[in-house]
């Protein structure tokens, strides 16, 4: 259950969720879901930092925000179904965070060593939320505006991809800020020659990957994801998760403005994946 000290966090979450939900409109995908949903990252960051005990409070906050926004109109036909659609992801995320923490606390393997639990929750929560939406997508297609197998699969894929991207891009920096506020301030040091050399290496690898993808796109061979994927993986393995996240943000900053247009669904999904 929430405590008095959680109230500022929930108020801040309400504002952040509203802004993030609005930002997702630019990447609206097939049907009801967005191919980039930053609110999922804000949600996971709050539940992970403050604990899954806030699940019901987070769910209530999202219901209030969406009611104010007009997504839920009490008394209108189908408003309970709309409320269920809003509440379900928050509840699912909270359950996943609780399960992951419960398992990690009792694990004797690397699963219990940071950052593995967070990584597991970051992947599992979007997938679980998508699976929870499956019955409504199949048996009440009018709720998501899709019909047929192809549109249904595209809609659910957009759901999981959008949430995964939102979590990947938004949750890490929010959690770093929270942890930085809890830790002692660290003195700033001038970068060493080794660090500068590593930065140059990472920039060279990522720049070459982006250039290769751009060249292939210019000559009509599409926009392959493999060069950027390999570069980001290399940077993450070579220099750690912070450097890997920065590389992902750079790639996202290039790709996302391009996909916030009327591209075919298949092409947008391919670029986001």
- HEC-encoded secondary structure of the chain: CCCHHHHHHHHHHHHHHHHHHHHHHHHECCCCCECCCHHHHHHHHHHHHHCHHHHHHHHHHHHHHHHHCCCCCCCCCCHHHHHHHHHHHHHHHHHHHHHHHHHHHHCCCHHHCCCHHHHHHHHHHHHHHHHHHHHHHHHCHHHCCCCHHHHHHHHHHHHHHHHHHHHHHHHHHHHHHHHHHHCCCCCCCCCCHHHHHHHHHHHHHHHHHHHHHHHHHHCCCCCCCHHHHHHHHHHHHHHCHHHHHHHHHHHHHHHHHHHCCCCCHHHHHHHHC
Work out the average pLDDT over 105-111. 82
Q: Are 143 and 32 in contact (CB under 8 A)?
A: yes
- The string of pLDDT tens digits covering residues 186-234 is 666 777 888 788 889 999 999 999 898 888 878 877 777 788 889 999 8
**Residue 107: CATH number of its domain:** 1.10.1760.20
Residue 146, pLDDT above cutoff 90: no
Same structural domain, 168 and 145? yes
Would you say residue 115 lies in a domain? yes
Residues 218, 126 share a domain: no
Q: What is the mean pLDDT of the chain?
A: 86
User: Model confidence at 28, in pLDDT bands (50, 70, 90)?
Assistant: confident
Q: What is the domain range of residue 234?
A: 193-272
Residue 22 lies in a domain: yes
Asked if residue 210 is part of any domain, the answer here is yes
In a shared domain, residues 173 and 220:
no
- Give the tokens for residue 136: 């409504």
Residue 63 shares a structural domain with residue 128: yes
182, 207, 239 — which closes off a domain? 182
Do 213 and 118 lie in a common domain? no
Q: Rg (Cα) of the chain, in Å, rounded?
A: 20
Per-residue pLDDT at 135? 81
pLDDT for position 11: 95
Domain presence at residue 187: no
pLDDT, mean of residues 56-81: 90
Determine the average pLDDT of the residues in 240-265: 85
List all residues 6 or more positions away from 216 whose beta carbon is below 8 Å from its beta carbon: 222, 223, 224
pLDDT at 193: 83
Span 50-74, mean pLDDT? 93
Higher pLDDT, 197 or 47: 47
Q: Looking at the structure, tell me whether residues 58 and 143 fall in a common domain.
A: yes
Judgement on whether residues 177 and 210 belong to the same structural domain of the protein: no
- The label of the residue with tokens 């700033």 reads 188
CB atoms within 10 A of CB 39: 27
Position 188 in a domain = no
Domain assignment present for residue 220? The answer is: yes
Q: Given this model, what pLDDT does residue 122 score?
A: 94
Residues 201 and 124 in one domain: no
Q: Give the phi and the psi of residue 262 in degrees, each rounded to 5.
A: -85, 55
d(CA 260, CA 21): 15
Taking a C-beta distance cutoff of 8 angstroms, is the pair 210, 228 a contact?
yes
17 part of a folded domain: yes
Domain boundary at 182, 215, 244, which? 182
- Per-residue pLDDT, 188: 63
Residue 168: the pLDDT is 94
* CB distance 133 to 8 below 8 Å: no
Residue 255 has pLDDT above 80, yes or no: yes
Cα–Cα distance for residue pair 31/268, rounded to 1 Å: 14
Q: Are residues 161 and 204 in the same domain?
A: no
Whole-number pLDDT of residue 142: 60
Query: Is residue 13 domain-resident?
Result: yes
**Are 145 and 32 in contact, with CB atoms under 8 Å apart?**
yes
- Boundary of a domain, candidates 156, 182, 208: 182
**What local confidence, expressed as pLDDT, does residue 219 receive?**
83
User: How many residues are present in the chain?
Assistant: 273
Do 228 and 234 touch, CB atoms closer than 8 A?
no
Q: What is the mean pLDDT of residues 27-32?
A: 65
Q: What pLDDT is attached to residue 7?
A: 92
162 and 202, same domain (yes or no)? no
Q: Are residues 92 and 160 in the same domain?
A: yes
Same domain, 87 and 152: yes
Rounded distance, CA 181 to CA 161, Å? 31
Average pLDDT over residues 67-74: 90
Asked if 82 contacts 63 with a C-beta cutoff of 8 angstroms, the reply is no
Burial 184-193 (b: 16+ CB within 10 A, else e): eeeeeeeeee
Number of structural domains (the chain) is: 2
Distance CA 234, CA 161 (A): 22
Work out the average pLDDT over 142-161. 74
């Amino acid at each position: 259950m929430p405590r008095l000290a959680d109230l500022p966090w929930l108020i801040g979450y309400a504002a952040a969720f509203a802004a993030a939900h609005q930002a997702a409109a630019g990447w609206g995908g097939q049907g009801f879901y967005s191919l980039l949903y930053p609110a999922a990252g804000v949600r996971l960051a709050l539940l992970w930092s403050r604990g899954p005990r806030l699940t019901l409070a987070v769910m209530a906050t999202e219901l209030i925000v969406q009611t104010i926004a007009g997504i839920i109109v009490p008394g209108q036909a189908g408003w309970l179904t709309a409320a269920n659609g809003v509440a379900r992801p928050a509840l699912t995320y909270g359950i996943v965070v609780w399960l992951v923490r419960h398992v990690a606390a009792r694990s004797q393997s690397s699963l219990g060593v940071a950052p593995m639990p967070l990584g597991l929750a970051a992947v599992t929560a979007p997938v679980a939320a998508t699976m929870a939406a499956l019955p409504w997508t199949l048996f009440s297609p009018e709720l998501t505006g899709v019909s047929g197998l192809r549109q249904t699969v595209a809609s659910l894929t957009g759901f999981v991809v959008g949430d995964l991207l939102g979590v990947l891009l938004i949750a890490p920096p929010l959690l770093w800020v929270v942890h930085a506020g809890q830790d002692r301030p660290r003195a700033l040091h001038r970068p060493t020659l080794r660090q500068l050399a590593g930065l140059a290496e990472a920039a060279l690898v990522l720049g070459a990957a982006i250039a290769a993808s751009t060249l292939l796109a210019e000559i009509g061979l599409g926009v392959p994801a493999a060069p950027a994927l390999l570069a980001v993986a290399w940077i993450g393995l070579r220099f750690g998760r912070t450097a890997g996240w920065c590389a992902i943000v750079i790639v996202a900053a290039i790709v996302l403005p391009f996909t916030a247009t009327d591209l075919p669904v298949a092409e947008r999904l391919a670029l986001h994946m």
